[in-house]
Structure 1
């Protein structure tokens, strides 16, 4: 049996802009990983337990990470990190990770571990060798974590950048990561608290899309577009890239309903089949600007949010 270790909830970041450029010296900057947050409990007997932010035991789900427990034989620890699946270009691919999430059948989990292996990105240590580190400043906790030598085929301690927020922003944007997490160098670890000492800032992509249909909303939105079906013009035709409902105001939904009634057509304007039950179709004349966080493996928009209709690009004549 390993030594008793405390149950520690993960510290959470506040959504906020990067610190002001003149304040950079007080902050460290890390990659914002697009994965599943996990607290790693290693009691020191060679075993390992993964606990999600919701408090669920995910140890069975990610069997390839159990070997990390051997690195903590005779030294108990609680660490913080994010489980990701890396795509072909080396960036986290949340679409692939979703195929791993929630699997509790050991045989199925082992099979998926071969097909879509996960990688654990460790970025904090809250307890080590019987000593709580919650009050220890971030910078010192980071040095302690780096000294543990935890790199391996399924685990890394990614580098952080001190004092250069704009460089971190540009580097993560160029590399295709989700964003940046800024952490105050002197910050303690506050379990379960969404603290302003940690700030997360996402990279957001903007794209103009063509509306080719809509699905009806529910409840108060009955009769109005709950979401619009959108596409991008390509040489082979209009390719459907998903639906957008988030961010639409009631006024915009009513405005779209009037336009789409005039533009109604019997079938989809998209090239290739679009499997959307009870969809209404429209002539591809309306152009909208949306924001999104990336692309799914199927080529659909991830986390699309409506920004505005583009009347300057729309031809209703």
Structure 2
């Protein structure tokens, strides 16, 4: 049968619901993967579509057997494709090696043998030819759980009703990306970023050394569009990524003045990052940034500038990013 195309509902960044309303919300782990809507026509076939609507079915051949799990029952299911590390946590770096292969089935099949993916299902949008979009989250979730879809490459993790503070604390304790809060009485809003779903990302902070900058464009002409930052390790400044957000206009102007005063012809990073048009500075400015996770290569993911740390020297910040193992952290 022909299934309706349903763009996925999106969550709005925010904070935990008020304690008095805690019991009106469900809490799900925020997954770091690729958002997909799975279309199962009931004949054993599967079509996977990305958030953009692109057909990415061929990129994940191991998920084709999901169709057999619901043979005879047409369904549209919402979920997230993950690649798991050895600890069973979502690792976006691993997943990147699988994404973008929808037009290369042979490569996708080889990668599937090396790095299999796992589809986490968290909503049912249509079942047996009937749209579930007008139903409440509680009703849709009940229909999804009745399907008992737990197989070799897919699962339906439980959602916790109430106890939001404990749920968020658990994600932090286990190094997970965050939490998604979903109002129990909310309907599914296709293609909408809704306040009925709230995402909370666990951000970390770090002190980093500024080693360069990239000129801004347009209204930022003459000002830094981003700064290039690093961390000291054994006396060597290692590149940790670029930071391009978090300043007010006044703070950006002040930062430009400090960068010009520290201008240098020599790249302070070892090895030098590949950044076209980069301008180098003496590595003496220290800044505090917030970020979601670190890659295994030590790069910050989703960094945001917080403030200059005039009270710190580069040496003071040396241990900040080296404490603890790197984590990986991404789609609702």
Alpha-carbon distance in 2 for matches of 1:105, 1:115: 16
Gaps of 5+ in 1: none
1:60-209 matches, cutoff 5 A: 60-103=58-101, 104-209=103-208
- Residue 17 of structure 2 corresponds to 19
Question: Matched residues in 1 for 2:294 and 2:86: separation?
Answer: 14
Runs of 4+ in 1 over 3 A off after TM superposition: none
**1:245 corresponding residue in structure 2:** 244
Q: TM-score, normalised by structure 2?
A: 0.89
Q: Does 1:51 align with 2:52?
A: no
SS of equivalent to 2:59? coil
Q: How far does residue 53 in structure 1 lie from its aligned partner after superposition?
A: 1.4
Q: Which residue of 2 aligns with 1:294?
A: 293
Question: How far has the Cα of 1:67 moved from its partner?
Answer: 0.9
Shift of 1:238: 2.0
1:264 CA drift (Å) = 2.3
- Residues in 2 aligned to 1:311 and 1:166: alpha-carbon distance in whole angstroms: 35
Q: Give the Cα separation in 2 of the matches to 1:97 and 1:209.
A: 28
1:217–1:190 Cα change, 3 Å: closer
Partner of 2:27: 29
Shift in Å at residue 248 of structure 1?
A: 3.0
Cα deviation for residue 48 of structure 1 reads: 0.3
**TM-score, length-normalised on structure 1?**
0.93
Which position in structure 2 is the counterpart of 1:39? 37
In structure 1, the residue matched to 2:254 is 255
**For this pair of structures, how many residues does the alignment match?**
313
Question: Residue by residue, what CA displacement relative to the aligned partner does 1:102-141 show, whole Å, maximum 9, x if unpaired?
Answer: 2211111112222332211100111112222222221222
Give the distance between the partners of 1:148 and 1:216, measured in 2 at CA. 54
- In the TM superposition, what is the alpha-carbon distance from 1:314 to its structure 2 partner? 5.0
CA RMSD, aligned part only? 1.7
Deviations 1:218-250 (A, max 9, x none): 333333222111111222522211111122334
- Report the secondary structure of 2:191's partner residue: coil
Distance 1:9 1:221 in 2: 35
- How big is the shift at 1:69? 0.7
Q: State the alpha-carbon separation in 2 of the partners of residues 202 and 119 from structure 1.
A: 21
Structure 2 counterpart of 1:284: 283
Where in structure 2 are there 5+ consecutive unaligned residues? 315-332
